[in-house]
Chains A and B, each alone.
Chain A
Amino acid sequence: RKEVEQDPGPFNVPEGATVAFNCTYSNSASQSFFWYRQDCRKEPKLLMSVYSSGNEDGRFTAQLNRASQYISLLIRDSKLSDSATYLCVVNRGSYIPTFGRGTSLIVHP
């Protein structure tokens, strides 16, 4: 089983839609979780950390389910500019970021 698994998509949604991505991880001892965004041919950039109690940043909501070992990202009111690949990251130990393969999102008019 891969350390971090994501559905590669693509998720093709209209503007204004709500879309959710899930990610599962294999190491139950993992403590740090993040979502990154990667635009085509660019470096990944941190979108948000994921906290145990769940957290929200504008239109983005991240949730962590430790019992089931999955992380989710919810995007509300999708914008064209949200089109990108979303990478789930789980730290192995405290400082080794392990990336999922990424989920591609395409927002169309």
Chain B
Amino acid sequence: SQTIHQWPATLVQPVGSPLSLECTVEGTSNPNLYWYRQAAGRGLQLLFYSVGIGQISSEVPQNLSASRPQDRQFILSSKKLLLSDSGFYLCAWSVGTGGPRGTEAFFGQGTRLTVV
């Protein structure tokens, strides 16, 4: 069966420090991968998605970047964190060959980031 791992679960970082969040998926090949952010009391905002190694699409301009160095690894980074980067970061995957109707997304447990 497929599993998704995301770490760390919680993180407190000072303003201006770098960030690296990692997500890996097991039990599937060529998944679609996603990074979402959820601010307190708000909905999920799609940050990045990837349909293959090295292919990254950015949804909104921001202080963050993403990379997919391996098929089942997705990394979210920042060179210098801002206070506004605080939030709940969620990695997700979906079947890469889901057909025209697509398939549902499955989420990791999330990283709660607080920038201080």
> Which residues of A are interface residues toward B (Cβ below 8 A)?
31-32, 34, 41-46, 49, 87, 89, 91, 93-102
Contacts and interface: CB of A to CB of B under 8 A. Distances in A.
Given A43-B108, A44-B107, A49-B104, A94 B46 contact: no
Interface string B94-110: 10101111111111111
Nearest to A31: B101
| Interface footprint category on B | 20 to 34
A95 B32 CA distance: 8
Contact of A32 (B51, B96, B102, B108): B102
Given A43-B108, A43-B109, A43-B110, A98 B103 contact: no
B101 A44 contact: no
Given A99-B43, A101-B43, A94 B110 contact: no
